[in-house]
Amino acid sequence: MCGIIGAFMLKETESLLRPKVLEMAKRIRHRGPDWSGVFSSPRAFLAHERLSIIDPETGNQPLHSSDGTVTVVVNGEIYNYNELKNLTPDYEYQTASDSEVILALYLTYGISFIEKLNGIFSFALYDHTKDSFLIARDHVGIIPLYYGTDSIGQLFVASELKALEGFCTQIEQFPPGHYLDSTVGVRPICWYHRPWQEHPVCTTAVADIQRALEAAVNRQLMSDVPFGVLLSGGLDSSVIASIAKKMLEQRDQISYNRSKTVLHSFAVGLKGSPDLQAARKAAEFIGTYHHEVHFTVQEGLDALRDVIYHLETYDVTTVRASTPMYLLARAIKSRGIKMVLSGEGADELFGGYLYFHKAPNAQAFHEETVRKLSKLYQYDCLRANKALCAWGVEGRVPFLDKEFMDVAMGLDPEEKLIKDGRIEKWVLRQAFESYLPHSILWRQKEQFSDGVGYSWIDTLKEVAEREVSDVNFSHAAITFPIQTPKTKEEYYYRSIFESYYPSSEAALTVPSVKSVACSTPEALAWDASFQDQNDPSGRAVANVHQQSY
């Protein structure tokens, strides 16, 4: 993973602007500790902080087209870049970097090329000939991107909020699945359109799920550096790990690799936590080289301020879950691993959260999965990316592969509905019944912040209750008139957030909505018991979670 900065619509001189751009880039250097690069001109600035995964030797950025007319900085990976290179036979490639295909496609197809990309990405491109720029973000916002303007109207784009805070008077998250083409305006335009976003399409057979996910994992195993998998012992991460292991074994057979490729797996939790025990069993069955990272509640509390700084959020469920992942990322990096596969996205695609048990019908179920996918960039994608990138580790999410999403969302929602004794994500479990033992395959959903140990969440609530007085909380609307905290825990996180990001613009980049077990506000209507709750823990779903409140 990398970090990018772009500056356009310039009104200041290069000499005045350069120190600002360099300071912005420095603030996100943790994302790309391997190399820094800057392009500057009187019309545009582009800066790049690189984490080298593909082509470590020649893939430094900014990248310039072979004819010198276009420059780009890219954060992410283009998984189908080898196929896309076949569409640009006349372009003279100068590196083996997957990112260079963006230059070739732009010169060949114009902005229509974005739909051809299958990957995780954000990029900023400057066309010297047209004196124009193009900014784009991947289909669901797996890679973070923010943009804003300063007091004199200069436009900036950055991988993280911290790069823009203090420089820009207006800041927003750049919307997923959108691009900004300066030749037609300065507002993002949606490029990602799918029929299933509007209504169920019912084009997929259950049997297609296994094949499509295997293909997605295989695509995302491209790497020139050591990699691993995150393994909680739950269904999603275990499926990804088992497929990855199978794919690596097949590659070893094809290449006659006698030493065998080692797949490292990583789990984190309090001692005795549900995830650690389950992950140990899964790793033993799958055959990974397994690493356990134990943390204490106090170590989690000590890291809380750093977590909120790096995650750039005060959302309760994100902070709860990100702290263990942040601690895990440091351990992963210390073992020389630069990239990991993770299981984010399955719960949104297949209705895995426990509140989906309350869905009244297939149509409501489908509409909620669409809503959840559209908001992923504010929650799980943000956590998976920023918690890992804080230590220079890249996270990849095969369930959110663009092609696999079309297959998963093409299922008849009746197949996903939790009914007739079915457990959540029944379709996914059935598809991989030959991959995993029953104890793993049919383990009940645990949200990450629950699975690392229930005492973690319980202690966070106790700390917030102690740190936020009743008097302070009663004045919450005065202290925080924008996005007023609804609980003491949210108030506590918001106070830390504001110490780093004091602007109202920064506060508005964070979602603040009522939720039960990670539901959207719309799904609260599914059950009368949801109306008086506001708790993202899966244990909040009474009579569903085995350890419900």
Same domain, 242 and 312: yes
Same domain, 335 and 426: yes
Average pLDDT of each block of 10 consecutive residues along the chain (549 residues)? 95 97 97 94 96 79 95 97 96 94 98 98 98 99 98 99 98 99 97 98 94 98 92 95 96 75 94 90 97 96 99 97 97 96 98 95 98 98 98 98 98 95 94 93 67 81 98 98 96 99 98 89 91 62 56
C-alpha 150/C-alpha 503 separation (Å) is 13
Same domain, 201 and 157: no
Contacts for 281 with CB less than 8 Å, ≥ 6 apart: 233, 437, 439, 440
Same domain, 169 and 283: no
Structural domains of the chain, count: 2
User: Which domain-ending residue is among 411, 440, 456?
Assistant: 456
Is position 134 within any domain?
A: yes
Same domain, 188 and 222: no
pLDDT at 429: 96
Same domain, 283 and 313: yes
pLDDT at 272: 87
Same domain, 228 and 313: yes
Is position 461 within any domain?
A: no
User: Which domain-ending residue is among 456, 488, 511?
Assistant: 456
pLDDT at 198: 97
Same domain, 144 and 201: no
Check whether 342 is labelled as a binding-site residue.
Answer: yes
> CA of 474: how far to CAs of 37, 306, 468, 488, 499, in Å?
49, 27, 10, 10, 20
Is position 500 within any domain?
A: no
> What are residue 229's DSSP bridge partners?
265, 341
pLDDT at 549: 44
Prediction pTM value: 0.95
Identify which of 367, 398, 427 has the alpha carbon closest to the alpha carbon of residue 209: 427
pLDDT at 535: 65
Check whether 98 is labelled as a binding-site residue.
Answer: yes
pLDDT at 52: 82
* Exposure letters 229-263 (e unless 16+ CB within 10 A, then b): bbbbbbbbbbbbbbbbbbbbeeeeeeeeeeeeeeb
Check whether 519 is labelled as a binding-site residue.
Answer: no
pLDDT at 259: 65
Q: Which tokens is 270 given?
A: 């309090």
Is position 486 within any domain?
A: no
Range of the domain at 148: 3-192
Is 2 one of the catalytic residues?
Answer: yes
SS3 327: helix
User: Which domain-ending residue is among 456, 475, 506?
Assistant: 456
Same domain, 403 and 298: yes
Q: Catalytic one among 2, 168, 381, 518?
A: 2
